[in-house]
Amino acid sequence: MRIVTLPGSLRKGSYNRRLLGLAIAELEKLGAEIEAVDLCDHPLPLYDGDLEDDKGVPDEAWTLKSKIAASHGIVIACPEYNAGVPGVFKNVIDWTSRGGSNPWAGKVVGLMGASAGLWGTTRMMPHLRDIMTMLGCLIIPQQISVPQAAKVWNEAGEMTDEKLPGRVERFIGAFVATVQNHAREELSGSGD
């Protein structure tokens, strides 16, 4: 079982990177092979149709596309910016859906998010869910939204919320079960 983890933020101290760390620990316990993608390692220009027509899809987008295509599922931890999907993550989605192939189609996706605000990522999640559904992903119904993330992790980066690890464990359990069921359906041919 190959799982890609994607943060929706570039910031090194991102709450969403910390949230992904909890998810990765649970995935490792369940024996998953993990490709932890750092978007800082794959810089992309802003999507521009003229740029694509002139130079094609950037090499870094092809690298991300290949990682996504080779996976059985993707866990995304994305912050909420102004009640929506951050531009940097939407740009990744836009570039990776270009080039005549869509690596997202048929992938099981789990959505998580943490933000400093009172709403967490509850306003952004439906938007991201719509985007991923349009790309052909199978999004699990469970999701995690962490509000007031500055109170969940202290300044040293240590977690102070005793309930969050259990929430992530249940979320990853549901995600992995869905990935496994989806893989069985594809093998048996009943997924058509």
**pLDDT computed for residue 157 by the predictor:** 78
Full domain range(s) for residue 56 = 2-188
Q: Say which residue, 13 or 66, is predicted with more confidence.
A: 66
CA angle 186, 191, 192 (to 5 degrees): 120
Taking every pair of C-alpha atoms in the chain, what is the biggest distance, in angstroms? 52
**pLDDT computed for residue 186 by the predictor:** 80
In 3D, which of 143, 109, 108, 140 has the Cα closest to residue 125?
A: 143
In 3D, which of 90, 27, 25, 101 has the Cα closest to residue 62?
A: 101
Q: What are phi and psi of 109, to 5 degrees?
A: -125, 135
Give the span between the Cα atoms of 91 and 43, in whole angstroms. 10
Give the span between the Cα atoms of 171 and 6, in whole angstroms. 16
Average pLDDT over residues 175-180: 97
In 3D, which of 26, 10, 15 has the Cα closest to residue 167?
A: 26
* CATH number of the domain residue 176 falls in: 3.40.50.360
Q: Poorest-confidence range of 12-21, 82-91, 105-114, 148-157?
A: 148-157
H helix intervals, the chain: 15-29, 49-55, 59-69, 87-96, 124-134, 149-152, 164-188
Averaged pLDDT score across all residues of the chain: 94
**pLDDT computed for residue 121 by the predictor:** 96
**pLDDT computed for residue 156 by the predictor:** 80
**pLDDT computed for residue 35 by the predictor:** 97
> How many domains are there within the chain?
1
33 Cβ neighbours under 8 A, 6+ residues apart: 1, 2, 3
Based on the number of CB atoms within 10 Å of its own CB, is 65 exposed (0-12), middle (13-18) or buried (19 or more)?
buried
Task: Give the pLDDT band of residue 192 (cuts 50, 70, 90).
Answer: low
Average pLDDT over residues 36-58: 96
- What's the pLDDT tens digit per position in 92-104? 999 999 999 999 9
- What's the pLDDT tens digit per position in 112-160? 999 999 999 999 999 999 999 999 999 999 999 999 999 998 888 788 9
**pLDDT computed for residue 184 by the predictor:** 87
Cα-Cα-Cα-Cα dihedral sign, residues 120, 34, 159, 169: positive
